Amino acid sequence: MKLKNQKVLIVGGSSGIGLATAKAALEEGASVVIASRSMEKLGKANHSLGQKAMIIQADLADKNSLETLFREVGPFNHLFISAAEPKTGLIRDTDLEDIRSSLETRFWGTYCATQLAAPNIARDGSIIYMSGNAAVHPIKGSSVGSASVAAVEAFARVMALELAPIRVNVIRAGLIDTPLLDRYGNQRQGIIEGYSKRVPLKRIGSAEDVAEAAVYLMKSTYTTGTILQVDGGALLI
Ligand SMILES: NC(=O)c1ccc[n+]([C@@H]2O[C@H](COP(=O)([O-])OP(=O)(O)OC[C@H]3O[C@@H](n4cnc5c(N)ncnc54)[C@H](OP(=O)(O)O)[C@@H]3O)[C@@H](O)[C@H]2O)c1
């Protein structure tokens, strides 16, 4: 119960990694606020958490919405930004305005949320951002997703200096079994099997694997400016 009397805000907490982290933080004794765009998803998520979280509708892409969120949350201890809706596409095929929104949300949303959160986070608290192996391992079609997570990693290192003693860390995940993978449609299973065959740990990650890392970063009081790799060893090969 190392997070007892601590308040954790998870933006993107209604699904996947964010939701698993909400559960893990509750188990460590924290009070938890989950935020995302859909009240319906938030309601279902909170049902799965035994109605133990507080839910607030918020859009990482919308400054007004984030201002309302941080006003409602008040002082707190840990911010985890798990929200994202990554877009993919080969450069020859993509519409610029459509694809740029994913970088806008991931990078400027993270910037804005950090700016609004910093005055309200406890001095011994922390911020955690999500990144993925695409930040360092190129995959055709992932140009904007890769650039946006790489930007967040670089941003995090600067924030670790500027906001200290508040700690700022990043989780860089490999392929994780969450609703995000539904966008692959009938290729989903093949992608999972291919990844599981390739990586040293021979399986895809679970949302709980990443939640474990997120809670570790909340509790680890001498860790800042780090990128924690949670990918089954994918980058070793
Ligand atoms: N799954 C993977 O393989 C993988 C790998 C590497 C990195 N990641 C990263 O890990 C993070 C979590 O992914 P996940 O797999 O858990 O995805 P997920 O299950 O789809 O969850 C995404 C969450 O973000 C919320 N969200 C999306 N856009 C938002 C916005 N503009 N404002 C507020 N909330 C928003 C969604 O809720 P609403 O729809 O209600 O807004 C949902 O709660 C993402 O940053 C993703 O890029 C995932």
84 ligand 1 Cβ < 6 A: yes
176 ligand 1 Cβ < 6 A: yes
- 108-162 pLDDT, tens digit per residue, is 999 999 999 999 999 999 999 999 999 999 999 999 999 999 999 999 999 999 9
Asked whether the bond before 75 is cis by omega within 30 degrees of 0, the reply is: no
Question: What is the C-alpha to C-alpha distance for residues 191 and 183, in angstroms, rounded to an integer?
Answer: 12
Residue 1 has pLDDT above 90, yes or no: no
35 touches 11 (CB < 8 A) = yes
Q: Which CATH fold topology does 7-175+207-236 show? A: Rossmann fold (3.40.50)
Q: Ligand 1 mean position to 89 CA, how many Å? A: 18
Q: Ligand 1 mean position to 130 CA, how many Å? A: 9
Q: Where are the domains of the chain?
A: 7-175+207-236
Question: What is the C-alpha to C-alpha distance for residues 208 and 141, in angstroms, rounded to an integer?
Answer: 27
- Residue ID of nearest Cα to ligand 1 atom 8: 132
- 23-82 pLDDT, tens digit per residue, is 999 999 999 999 999 999 999 999 999 999 999 999 999 999 999 999 999 999 999 999
At residue 30, the pLDDT reads: 98
Question: What is the C-alpha to C-alpha distance for residues 60 and 68, in angstroms, rounded to an integer?
Answer: 11
- Residue 176: its H or E element: strand 176-177
For residue 9, the number of C-alpha atoms closer than 13 Å in the C-beta half-sphere is: 30
The mean pLDDT of the chain is 97
- The DSSP annotation for 127-157 comes to EEEEEEGGGTS--TT-HHHHHHHHHHHHHHH
Q: Is the dihedral of CA 106, 108, 112, 115 positive or negative?
A: positive
Q: Is the dihedral of CA 158, 161, 164, 169 positive or negative?
A: positive
